[in-house]
Amino acid sequence: MDNATLKERISGLVPDAEYQESKQFLTFIIPLDKMHGLALKLKQEADLAFDYLFCLTAVDRNDFFEVVYHLESTTLKHQLELKVRTADRDHVAVDTVCDVWGTAEFHEREAYDLMGITFNNHPDLRRIFLDESWKGHPLRKDYVDEVNIIEL
């Protein structure tokens, strides 16, 4: 499926999704409450067949966080980038997609550990890199490390 057809298809599935021009990926900003349902459709519908989540990351945008999903159909050879935005810095919860793509399990744990994003219904949401006693989330822009005095 070419990008124009894919754009039309995604817009049909989530009419209130916002399209962003990107040189590398077809990119959509998906409303937070629609991400999980869209993820299921993207994987299950034969003409889409997005069977591989090859990257999930989080971005601190100062006022809110974005969770960015890079998807690929290994059979149909098309790719897609989806983004969801949290309401603000205090309410940073997103529904998990690890029940759709198993690769999301550790990616979501990393975003939780380093950025403090909670993934609702995640089966094992705990720190993956830092010790459980670690205070805060070191990739947040407002993180302060009193011991090592790291400031950006």
Walk along the chain (152 residues) and give the pLDDT tens digit of each residue: 889 999 999 999 999 999 998 888 999 999 999 999 999 999 999 999 999 999 999 999 999 999 999 999 999 999 999 999 999 998 899 999 999 999 999 999 999 999 999 999 999 999 999 999 999 999 999 998 777 665 55
**pTM of the predicted structure, to 2 decimals:** 0.93
The C-alpha atoms of residue 32 and residue 123 are separated, in whole angstroms, by 20
Per-residue confidence (pLDDT) for residue 21, from 0 to 100: 82
Q: What is the DSSP string of 11-72?
A: HHH-TTPEEE--SSS-EEEPPGGGHHHHHHHHHHSTTT---EEEEEEEEE-SSSEEEEEEEE
Determine contact, residues 30/14, Cβ cutoff 8 Å.
yes
Class of domain 3-120: alpha beta
Residue 115: predicted pLDDT: 97
CA distance 56 to 18: 19
Domains in the chain: boundaries:
3-120
Q: How far apart are CA 107 and CA 44, in angstroms?
A: 21
Distance from chain centroid for Cα 28: 11
Q: In which residue are the tokens 């090859």 written?
A: 54
Q: Strand 27-29 relative to strand 18-20: parallel, antiparallel, unpaired?
A: antiparallel
**Which pLDDT belongs to residue 150?**
58
Encode 103-118: b = buried (16+ Cβ within 10 Å), e = exposed: ebbebbbbbbbbbbbe
